[in-house]
Amino acid sequence: MTSKIGLFYGSTTCYTEMAGEKICEFIDKTYSNVTVEIYDIALNPVQRMSEYQYLILGIPTWDFGELQEDWESIWEEIDTLDLTGTLVALYGLGDQIGYPEWFQDALGYLCEKVKMQGASTVGTWPTKGYEFKQSKALTDNGEAFVGLSLDDENQSELTDKYIERWCIQIIDEFRLS
Ligand SMILES: Cc1cc2nc3c(=O)[nH]c(=O)nc-3n(C[C@H](O)[C@H](O)[C@H](O)COP(=O)(O)O)c2cc1C
């Protein structure tokens, strides 16, 4: 049986979109029993998220620790979703050198938001190898990000490798492998 994952992203300058496409491509080619359906949240109703038991959500941080604009537009609509029983893996785009005090903050806000709606999250990612001062996207013990942290401004050479490693991790944590 084929399992479906819904990937929803918001993206202003396309980096989060490109990462989403790479995630889809990698999962589709690596796992014959899993397909990923990708949605730009600017163009699709947020209620579509409720159709999936497995979600991947992509969000960049903008403007000193703020949500990306398309996520901001639908932020309150997320409150209407019932995500009980849904497993969610999150990824974020940020710039650790340019914005070290707000690195990946929006990733943390989105994680909290979906947990409030009943979702369980997977896919935490180690902070080792990053340099930043503060982030609202850290796990309680401060040793990991709540999701995959990508920085195409400063570490673009790591993006593909991180995506592949993280996809294998989340498919395992979704128990789809
Ligand atoms: C004006 C501006 C503000 C930004 N603010 C932050 C920030 O507060 N924290 C952070 O981690 N990254 C910040 N970034 C970096 C973006 O998250 C990064 O460029 C990301 O790749 C954009 O993703 P997108 O192309 O999908 O919109 C900022 C970038 C710009 C241009």
Give the CATH number for residue 87. 3.40.50.360
Instruction: Please give the distance, rounded to the nearest whole angstrom, from the Cα atom of residue 82 to the centre of ligand 1.
Output: 29
* pTM of structure: 0.98
Compute the Cα dihedral for 114, 135, 67, 125 and give only its sign. negative
**Tokens found for residue 112:** 């909290």
Alpha helices in the chain (DSSP H): 15-30, 69-74, 105-116, 156-173
Instruction: Please give the distance, rounded to the nearest whole angstrom, from the Cα atom of residue 153 to the centre of ligand 1.
Output: 9
Domain, as residue range, for 144: 3-173
Residue 22's pLDDT is what? 98
Residue 1's pLDDT is what? 85
> What's the domain count of the chain?
1
Q: Which residues contact 49 (CB under 8 A, 6 or more apart)?
A: 6, 8, 55, 81, 83, 86
Residue 70 Cβ contacting ligand 1 at under 6 Å: no
Residue ranges of the chain whose pLDDT lies below 70: none
Amino acid identity of 7?
L
Tens digit of each residue's pLDDT (9 = 90 or more) over 36-48: 999 999 999 999 9
* 139 close to 147: Cβ distance less than 8 angstroms: no
